[in-house]
Amino acid sequence: QKEVEQNSGPLSVPEGAIASLNCTYSDRGSQSFFWYRQYSGKSPELIMFIYSNGDKEDGRFTAQLNKASQYVSLLIRDSQPSDSATYLCAVRGGGSEKLVFGKGTKLTVNP
């Protein structure tokens, strides 16, 4: 069974701090890695995706991938109260349409 693990939190950080969200996955053949944000009562929305080892930056968000360690993370710099949401890590295996989601980490950014 292919699994994606996340710390369910809640993770609480002060406004302006860096929030670090982590995810590990079990399938070594995984090719694509996604971070979705889900506000309470809303649908998941894509923040970033990453395919290659290393870092990928987009504004205040940085995704980091280490395939050898089967680890992907999301850093949020200068956290804002509007970043408070549940963050879902999703992994797609090679040649597969299927996304496997983690259970999400709930982030709270305190003003």
Contact residues for other proteins, defined by CB under 8 A: 32, 34, 38, 42-46, 49, 86, 88, 92, 96-101, 103-104
**Residue owning tokens 């797609």:** 92
Least Å distance, CB 104 to other proteins, is 5
Measured from the CB atom, is 15 or 51 closer to other proteins?
Answer: 51
- Could you give the C-alpha distances from 52 to 27, 49, 60, in angstroms and in order? 16, 10, 19
Least Å distance, CB 16 to other proteins, is 27
Measured from the CB atom, is 43 or 82 closer to other proteins?
Answer: 43
What is the DSSP pairing of strand 85-93 with strand 99-101? antiparallel
Give CA angle at 3 (104, 107), nearest 5°: 10
Measured from the CB atom, is 14 or 94 closer to other proteins?
Answer: 94
Least Å distance, CB 101 to other proteins, is 4
Measured from the CB atom, is 34 or 64 closer to other proteins?
Answer: 34
